[in-house]
Amino acid sequence: MESLMIVLVGILVTVATYLILSRSVIRVIVGTAILSHAVHLLLLTVGGLKKGSVPLLGQAAAPFTDALPQALILTAIVISFAVTAFLLVLAYRMYLMNGTDDLEELGGSSDE
């Protein structure tokens, strides 16, 4: 299962990268969202899968699955949520001001 998950992560990363290389800001943002899915799965997988029970002391018996990656992922989820939320608002404010969400049209150095 671990190998399969890693491959899945790789595929998600591939898709996300493809999206990130798009011109439309929306696609890029979705790409970053997929990236975070991928990395959360990666973090979970490196901690080992199905190697123990749910890390709740009262409800299951040892061995427990590695709880630390879970805590890390939780933090990462919240942070990535915060960033995505900000990014979305930034994206549409940017669109409203600049009239385009096409990264190619948004090019041009800052010197203008």
Partner 1 sequence: MIVTLSIVLPFIAAALIPFIYRYFKNIHLGWFVLVVPVVLFSFLATYIPRVANGEVFVKTFEWIPSFGINITTYLDGLSMIFSLLITGVGSLVILYSIFYLSTKESLHHFYCYLLLFMGAMLGVVLSDNLMVLYVFWELTSVSSFLLIAFWHHRKASRAGARKAMTITVSGGVAMLAGFLMLYVASGTFSIREIVANLEVVQSSVYFVPAMCLVLLGAFTKSAQFPFHIWLPDAMEAPTPVSAYLHSATMVKAGIYLVARTTPIFGGHEVWFWAVSGVGLLTLFWGSFNAVKQFDLKALLAYSTISQLGLIMCLFGLGSAALHSGYSTESVIYTQATFAALFHLINHSTFKGALFMMVGIVDHEVGTRDIRRLGGLMSLMPFTFTIAVIGSASMAGLPPFNGFLSKEMFFTATLKITELDLFSLNSIGVLFPIIAWVASIFTFIYCVIIVMRTFFGKIQPDRLEKPPHEAPFGMLISPYILVAFVVGIFIFPNVLGHYILSPAMASIYPMFPSVEDMTPHIAAWHGHINPELIMTAGVIIIGVLLYRVLKKWRPIYQLIPPSFTLNALYERVITSGEDVSGRVTNRYMNGNLTYYFVYIYVFFVALLAGYMIYADAFSWDPSKDSVIEPYELVLVFVMIMAAVAIIFAKQRITVVLLNGVLGYSVAFFFVVFRAPDLALTQLVVESVTTALFLLSFKYLPKLKNEYLPKSWRFAKVTISIAVGATVTLIGLAVMNYDRFEPISKYFEDSYNLAGGQNIVNTILGDFRAFDTMLEVVVLFIAGLGIYTLIKLKAKKGDADVESK
Partner 2 sequence: MNNIIVLPLIVPIITATLLVFLNNNIKLQRIVSLITMIFVACISVVLLQLIQTEGILRLDFSGWMPPFGILFVADSFSVLLVLTASIVTAVCLIYAFSTIGERHEKMYFYPFVLFLIAGVNGSFLTGDIFNLFVCFEVMLLASYVLIALGGGKMQLRESIKYVLINVVASWMFLVALAYLYGTLKTLNMAHIAQRVAEAGQDPLLTVVSLTFLVVFGLKAGLLLFFWLPGSYSVPPTAVQALFAALLTKVGMYALFRTFMLMFPLQPEITHTIIGVMAGATIIAGCMGAFAGRDVRTIATYNVIISVGFILVALAVGTEDAMAGAVYYLVHDMLGKALLFLLIGTMILVTGEVVVKNMNGLIRIYPLFGWIFFIMMCALVGIPPLSGFIGKVLIGQGAIETESYVLLALAFGSSIIVMYSLLRIFLASFFGETSINEEDKMPIPRGAMASFIILAIFIIGLGVGAEGLAVYVNDAAYTLSNPSVYIDAILNTNK
Partner 3 sequence: MKVNDVILKSVVRGVVFIVFTLGMYLFFAGHNAPGGGFIGGLVLGSGIVLLYLTYDIETVHKGMPFDFKKVAAFGVLLATGSAIASLFFNVPFLTQADGYYNLPLLGEKHLSTVTIFEAGVALTVVGTLVTIILNISEDE
Footprint of partner 3 (CB under 8 A): 56-59, 74, 78, 82, 85, 88-89
- 45 part of the interface to Na ion, by CB under 5 A: no
CA dihedral of residues 24, 84, 40, 10 (deg, nearest 10) = 10
Which residues between 19 and 38 bind Na ion (CB under 5 A)?
A: 33, 36
In the window 35-94, what residues touch partner 1 (CB under 8 A)?
A: 37-38, 40-42, 44-47, 49-59, 62, 64-68, 70-71, 73-75, 77-79, 81-86, 88-93
In angstroms, the Cα distances linking 36 to 33, 66, 85 are 5, 20, 13
List beta partners, residue 53.
64
